[in-house]
Structure formats: C-alpha cells, structure tokens
Amino acid sequence: MMPDGPAGYPERSKRSIREQPGVRRAVSAATRTFDGGREAAWREIDAARWRDWLRDVKRHALTHLDRYLEVAERAMERNGVRVHWAETAADALDVLDGIVRAAGVKRAVKAKSMLTEELGVNAFLESHDVTVRETDLGEYIIQLLGQPPSHIVGPAIHLSVEDCRQLFARVLGTPPDATPDALAAAARAALRTEFLKADLGISGGNFLAAETGTVALIENEGNIRLSTSAPRIHVAMVGIEKLVPRFVDLSAFLQLTSRSATGQPIGNYVSLIQGPRGDDERDGPEEMHVVLVDNGRTRVLADDRAWEALRCVRCGACLNICPVYRQTGGHPYGFTYSGPIGAILAPGLLGLEEAMPLPYASSLCGACADVCPVRIPIPDLLLYWRERAVEAGLVPSAERAAMHGFAVAAERPTLFHLAGAALRAASSPIGRRSLPVLGGWTDERLAPSFSPKPFHRLWREGIE
C-alpha cells in the first residue's frame, strides 16, 4: 500500500500519539534495541575511519555516476543480465509490465525492497492480475494488514507481538497464544509454497558493484535468497545511487550497513548476484533483469547541497536514534522513507512543495548525524530545505511576518524590550485568549513563567 503523502504529517503524528500509545511503545522499544546494537557493533571497529571511507567512496561514485553506470551496464550484459533504464516510476513499471507480459507471469514473490515501495510495484502488479506476495516476515505482516512499511529495515516495527498473534490467528489459523517462534514457523510454511509457485521474483539491491555488475543484497531470513533464485525470472530494481565502483568495495559497505542497521557484523545471508543460471549451474533463474531507476535521483544529484543525501545506504540508523521518529514510527510521514533521512529525501525526490512539512519534522537535535554510516549532514540539509521553503514562499504568511518583525526588533533594543514586555503580558491567562498564536505552545504545556524583572533591568539596578 502506498503512503498518503507528507501534507498530513502534523495531524497524523498527533493522532498517532493520542490514539495509538501501543505504536509509540513498540517503536520506542525496538528502535532503542536497534540503536543499542549499532552502538555496540561500532565499538568493535574503528567506526570513524570506516565512515570516512564509505562517505568518500560514495562521493566518488556519485560524482562519476555517468561513467560507473555505463561500466555497470556493460558488466551486467557480459553476465547475461538484461539491463533496463527507467527515468520515472511510470517507466520502471512499464519495464516490469513488459517482462510480466512477455513471460506470462501470474504470481510474483517479493524480497524486501524500499525502492519497489517507492515505485508502487505491488499495487501496479495486482492491477495487472499478477498476485504478489511479500516474503520478508515484516513485509508479509504489513501486506496482510494493507499498510505501508513504517521503518526502512523493520517495516512492521510499529506492531507488537500481540498484534501479530491476532493477525496470524485470523489469517493463518495459529492458536491465539502462539509463541513468536510458532508465528514465524507458520509464516515460513505459508511462504514456502508461494516461493515454489511463483514465476517471478522481485528484489531491490543494497549495492551494485559497477566493475563486475554484481547486485548485492543483505538479509536475515533467507527469503531474498529464495525470491531471487527459485522463480524462473528475477527482476532486481536498483536505484542509480546504489552504485559502488569495485567488487571489493562491497566488503566494507555490506559490513558497516549491517552494523549500523541491526548491530550484526554482517547480515545472516548476503547474496552477490551476477546473472541468471549458467549452463553448468543447477540453481537460479532462467532470466535476470536489472532495472536502473532514476525517479528523481538525477535531479537531487544536480543540487550541490541536497546530493549528499544520495549516499544513504538505507540502514535506518537515523530513524532508530531519532527522538521525533520514536514517538510515532514512520506512517505519519506519509512517504516511503520516514525519519530524518525521509525528511531530506522527500523534498529532493518528490519536490519541495509536495514534501512539506517534512523538513520541519525535526528538533534539529543532531543525533542522526552522529550515527549516519556515510556521514550525511542531515541537520544541515533539514535547515537547507527550510531555507528553500522560505524562499519559495511555502511557509505560512503569519510566520513570515513574525520573523520579519523579529529581525526588525532584534536590531532595535528598545523595540525588542517592548516586544518582550508585550510577550510577558500575552502569556498571562487573559493575554493567552487574545493571542491564539501561543496556542501551539500552551496546548501541551504550561505557559513559561516570566521573571518579575528582566535581566537587563536587574543589571542596571546593580548586582551584588
């Protein structure tokens, strides 16, 4: 299911906090566990140097993207992969449609992929009479519930075990008191038959090594391995920003992404896929396609500030540590990518107007920048998009007027002190009624208590 768009973030986040305390509890607990894992896993290595290196390699790849894309295309074609280029989501879905029609696909299994969420692959295929089954446990759960993912790595992070117990009792007939292991076993049994029946396996790609044309995938459940090898056709949809130059570069990227996402030294399964089944091989698909997807990335790349966000490896570390994200999970953001990275990707990928007000969904605490494995300056980019929003006139006119007034007063001490005295009066119970602009503050908090005399007067009167 596709998210609803960022515009409703203020209302949705408020409703989530008021009406779904269980979501706040589940997200808060799970993100703390993830972040604790990351912290411990980073302590085992010289994380600062690894992060520098990853940042530099990605910077190099992105600033030479035209070259590496061609290198990658040639390598993949040598490997027997059919390479497609998609400028927009519609183009990507057209490519998929062509593959599905040509091969008469009726059933598809999907490995977890945020790009396919971004493109709306499931809804598209369903509307073309292809049955789609998500095979990552979390994705499977939210597919059954008709929800979009609420976290880049843990799509069902907002749900409790009890939520899953009730869902599986209804859909799979598990006992109402089933253990988590029993629930996973029931899902595994149900999914096993789906793998065997599917004609098509769709995956994303964590990385694409240009030199060898290798699609690299990290996972823990084995479902990606099965989705990409059991059906007769495998389609990998890969964002063009996922390129790394050399095969050997994958080593550090796979490890630091795992350490940053879940705290594991490396995912339980790493698939390095380099083409369809060879004549001398017994496993693997007959056909392999890679769809290289732009969908706004070139536009982001052309922006000399925003392009840094394209380094993102989708580990979710910034979501896990974000105190804003922790209160609601990802759904209120209304965009495939939530949390701090979503708030800086949305303006680039959707356009700023469409992405409002996500650049404001942050207190600018800076925790995200502390944990980004590719050192994306997320707080700086949030501020950058806010400045762009002001320039583009996408902010309320009352706010603009207030800020203009602020600047005028800040240059005139007498006026500034008068304004301060007026604010003090306005924060009294009577004043609050006449100045509804303070409502945003006092809905949730007591009005601040002003000092009886401001400091500048106490100073003039003399300090003992």
Partner 1 sequence: MRVSFFSTCLGDRLFADACVDAVRLLRHVGATVEVPAGLTCCGQPALNAGYAQEARRAARHTLEALGGADWVVLPSGSCTAMMRHHVPELFEGEERRHAEALAARTYELSEFLVRVAGVERLGTGLSGRRVAYHHGCHALRLLGEHDEPLRLLAGAGAEVVDWRADRECCGFGGLFAAKLPAVSAAMADAKLDSLPDVHFVTSADGGCLMQLSGRAGRRLLTTRFRHLASVLWEGVGTSVGLRTAP
Nearer to partner 1, 52 or 441 (CB): 441
Asked whether position 431 contacts partner 1 by CB under 8 A, the answer is no
451 binds partner 1 (CB under 8 A): yes
**Residue closer to partner 1 (CB basis): 244 or 361:** 361
Could you tell me the two tokens for 155?
């799509």
| Rounded least distance, CB 246 to partner 1, Å | 34
By CB under 8 A, tell whether 389 contacts partner 1: yes
Site for partner 1 in 273-332 (CB under 8 A): 323-324, 326-328
Identify the bridge partners of residue 228 per DSSP, sorted by sequence position.
none
**CB of 163 vs partner 1, minimal distance in Å:** 20
Cβ-based nearer residue to partner 1, 199 or 380? 380
- Least distance from C-beta 128 to partner 1, angstroms? 39
Q: Which is nearer to partner 1, 21 or 265 (CB)?
A: 21
Q: Which two tokens stand for residue 65?
A: 């993207």
Exactly one of 8, 14, 45, 299 binds partner 1 (CB under 8 A); that residue is 14
387 in contact with partner 1 (CB under 8 A): yes
**Under the criterion CB under 8 A, does residue 413 sit at the interface with partner 1?**
yes
Only segment of 153-161, 221-229, 237-245, 366-374 that touches partner 1 (CB under 8 A): 366-374
Categorise residue 222: left if φ over 0, alpha if ψ from -120 to 50, beta otherwise. left
Crossing angle of helices 249-261 and 21-43, in 10° steps, is 140
Under the binding rule (CB under 8 A), the answer on residue 353 touching partner 1 is no
- Single out the residue of 403, 425, 428, 434 in contact with partner 1 (rule: CB under 8 A): 403
**Is the CB of 429 or the CB of 452 nearer to partner 1?**
452
**Per rule CB under 8 A, is residue 399 in the interface with partner 1?**
yes
Q: Which residue in the set 101, 128, 192, 404 belongs to the binding site for partner 1 (CB under 8 A)? A: 404
Residue number with CB closer to partner 1 (189 or 418): 418
Would strands 269-273 and 214-219 be described as parallel, antiparallel, or unpaired? antiparallel
Q: d(Cα 344, Cα 342) in Å, to the nearest integer? A: 5
406 binds partner 1 (CB under 8 A): yes
Q: Which of 24, 59, 188, 299 binds partner 1 (CB under 8 A)?
A: 24
Task: Give min distance, CB of 434 to partner 1, in A.
Answer: 17
Residue pair 233/202 in contact by the 8 Å Cβ criterion: no
Q: Please report how close the Cβ of residue 388 comes to partner 1 at its closest, in angstroms.
A: 8
CB of 18 to partner 1, least distance (A): 7
Q: Check binding of 450 to partner 1 (CB under 8 A).
A: yes
Nearer to partner 1, 307 or 325 (CB): 325
Is residue 395 within the footprint of partner 1 (CB under 8 A)? yes
CB within 8 Å of 230: residues ≥ 6 apart? 109, 195, 196, 198, 201
Q: How many of the chain's residues bind partner 1 (CB under 8 A)?
A: 66
From the CB of 405, what's the least distance to partner 1, in Å? 9
Among 302, 364, 401, 425, binds partner 1 (CB under 8 A): 364
Ramachandran angles phi, psi of 291, nearest 5°: -105, 115
Q: Is 411 in the site for partner 1 (CB under 8 A)?
A: yes
* Structural tokens at position 176: 């109402």
Q: Which of 291, 344, 361, 371 binds partner 1 (CB under 8 A)?
A: 361
Which among 17-25, 126-134, 262-270, 271-279 is the span making contact with partner 1, rule CB under 8 A? 17-25
Check binding of 365 to partner 1 (CB under 8 A): yes
Using the contact rule CB under 8 A, the part of the chain among 93-101, 310-318, 337-345, 354-362 near partner 1 is 354-362
Residue 86 main-chain phi, psi, to 5 deg: -130, 120
357 in contact with partner 1 (CB under 8 A): yes
Contact 340, 368 (CB under 8 A): yes
Residues lying near partner 1 in the complex (CB under 8 A) are found at 10, 13-14, 17-18, 24, 28, 323-324, 326-328, 357, 359-367, 369-370, 383, 385-390, 395, 399, 403-404, 406-407, 409-413, 416, 420, 423-424, 440-441, 443-456, 458-459, 463-464
